[in-house]
A and B are shown apart, each in its own frame.
Chain A
Amino acid sequence: MKASVGDVVLPGDYCEEISAVGEKAKVIIGPGLQKEIDHVYVTKAGILKKRNPNTYWVDNYQKRYIPARGENVIGVVVQKAGDIFRVDVGSSTTAALSYLSFEGATKKNKPDVQIGDVVYAKMLVASKDMEPELVCVDSHGKKGRMGVLSDGFVFKCSLNLIRKILNPHCPLLESLKNEWPFELAAGMNGRIWIKANTMRETIALGNAILGAEYLSDEEIKSMCTNIATILAGHVS
C-alpha cells in the first residue's frame, strides 16, 4: 500500500515521495525504512515522519534495543576479559568496552571499573555482524559526559520513552529542572539512571519519568506540578 508522510504505516507499505526525492537529491532513510530495488519500503509499524532536509523515518514502538552507531547507552559491566570489559546493554550480545577507552587510561594506569558498575558510554561500532563496541571518551580523548555512574538508581523503560524525554520539545525536563536538584542519564537502550539527594526525590523523579510515557505535553506539565507540590508538602 502507498503511504505518505504522517500516515500510519505497516511493514510492506512503500512511500513514493521518498523515491521521488531520491531521484534528484540525497535522502536519509532512518529506522524502519529500507531501500529495495523498486521502492523504499516500510519495515516497522508506526507513523512515517519527515524532517528537513530529506530525512525520513518510522516512529515505532519498541522495547528491545538494537545497537546503532553514535548512540549513548547505559550498560552494566558483567565481565572483565583481558583488556576489555563486557557490558550488558540490553541487546542480543554484550558490548565490548576497552579499558583504554577511558580518559587518561594507559596500559599501566587502568581505570577503576568493577563488575556490576553502571557505565554511560557511546556506541562506536554497531554492525549487525560484529560485536558492538563502546567507548567512554570522545574523539578528543576527553570523557565529556560519559563514564561510570556511581550511586543513583537504574530502571528500564521502552525505547520510545527515552526518545520522548530527550526530544528538545518535551516539557518534562523543563518542568522538573527547577523543582529539586537531580541528575539523570538516559541511555538510548531503554535504561534511565537517576540520582537525587533523598530517596523521596529519587522516587518522585522516577515516577515522573515513567508516568510521562503515555501523556500529552499539557498532561506532563500538570503531572510535574502535582508531583512537585506533593514532594514539597511532605519535605517541609
Chain B
Amino acid sequence: MAGLSRKKLQLPKSVLEMKFMKRTKERIEKELENIHGHEGLYSNIITNEMRTATGNYIPEASFIYCENLIDGRLSFKGMNPEIERLMDLETPKEEESGEMQKDVSDEVLVKNMNKFKTRKRQSLTPSKYNVPSKKKK
C-alpha cells in the first residue's frame, strides 16, 4: 500500500531526465537515499513492536469529557434570543433522531422481519421478493 502511494507521487522518469529537472532529480535521489540510509541504520534496533506500540492510557485534564457536561452559556425565557437560538439548534436534533427511529415502529419491524424470514425459508432466493417498503414521512 505504502509503495503504491509512493509511486503515485513520483514523477515519470522521462520528465526527470529533462534538463531543467536536474535539481529536482537530485533532490529526489537524496531523499530516497536518506530514507533507505535511516532504515538500514536502525533496522537492527527498531523492532516491529516499537513501530506499532501505542500507549493505552490517554490522560484527560478536563472534567467536561468525563462527566459529559453541557455548555455553560445559557439563556431562558427570551433573555438572549441569540443564545436561545443556538440552544434550540442543539436540542431538537435529538428529538428528530428519536422520530426517525419511530418511523418504523418496533412491532411493524418484527412483523416484517417474521414475514421475511418465513419467505426466506420457503425459497432460497429471497432477493426476488421486495421487502415491504418503509413508511415515508
The reply to whether A and B meet directly (CB within 8 Å) is yes
A185 with B76, Cβ < 8 A, contacts A28-B65, A31-B63 known = no
Q: Are A51 and B62 in contact (CB under 8 A)?
A: no
* Nearest opposing residue in chain B for A162, CB measure: B72
| Bound CA–CA A163/B64 (angstroms) | 8
| Bound CA–CA A180/B64 (angstroms) | 28
Q: Are A181 and B76 in contact (CB under 8 A)?
A: yes
Interface residues on A, range: 35 or more
A187 with B72, Cβ < 8 A, contacts A28-B60, A57-B63, A177-B77 known = yes
Q: Does A182 contact B (CB under 8 A)?
A: yes
Number of residues from B at the complex interface, CB < 8 A? 27
| Bound CA–CA A196/B78 (angstroms) | 11
Q: Are B59 and A29 in contact (CB under 8 A)?
A: yes
| Bound CA–CA A71/B83 (angstroms) | 18
Q: Does A166 contact B (CB under 8 A)?
A: yes
**Given B60, B63, B77, which contacts A163 in the complex, CB threshold below 8 Å?**
B63
| Bound CA–CA A164/B56 (angstroms) | 29
State how many angstroms separate the Cβ of B51 from the closest Cβ of chain A. 18
Q: Are B67 and A177 in contact (CB under 8 A)?
A: no
| Bound CA–CA A199/B73 (angstroms) | 20
Q: Does A144 contact B (CB under 8 A)?
A: yes
* Nearest opposing residue in chain A for B61, CB measure: A68
| Bound CA–CA A25/B64 (angstroms) | 22
The proximity string for A residues 14-47 relative to B, scoring 1 for CB distances below 8 Å and 0 otherwise, is 0000000011111111110011000010000000
List the B side residues contacting A30 at CB < 8 Å.
59-63, 65-66
The proximity string for B residues 40-62 relative to A, scoring 1 for CB distances below 8 Å and 0 otherwise, is 00000000000000001111111
List the A side residues contacting B65 at CB < 8 Å.
28, 30, 55, 70
**Given B70, B77, B79, which contacts A166 in the complex, CB threshold below 8 Å?**
B70
Q: Does A168 contact B (CB under 8 A)?
A: yes
* Nearest opposing residue in chain A for B82, CB measure: A145
Give the residue among B59, B67, B86 with the most A Cβ atoms within 10 A.
B67
CB-contacts of B109-131 with A (<8 A)? none
Q: Does A94 contact B (CB under 8 A)?
A: no
* Nearest opposing residue in chain A for B84, CB measure: A183
State how many angstroms separate the Cβ of B53 from the closest Cβ of chain A. 13
Q: Are A27 and B79 in contact (CB under 8 A)?
A: no
Q: Does A184 contact B (CB under 8 A)?
A: yes
**Given A23, A34, A195, which contacts B56 in the complex, CB threshold below 8 Å?**
A23
Q: Are B76 and A188 in contact (CB under 8 A)?
A: no
| Bound CA–CA A94/B106 (angstroms) | 56
Q: Does B34 contact A (CB under 8 A)?
A: no
Q: A26-B57, A29-B58 are in contact. List 7 more A-B contacts (CB 8 A).
A: A72-B72, A145-B73, A166-B72, A176-B76, A180-B77, A196-B79, A197-B79
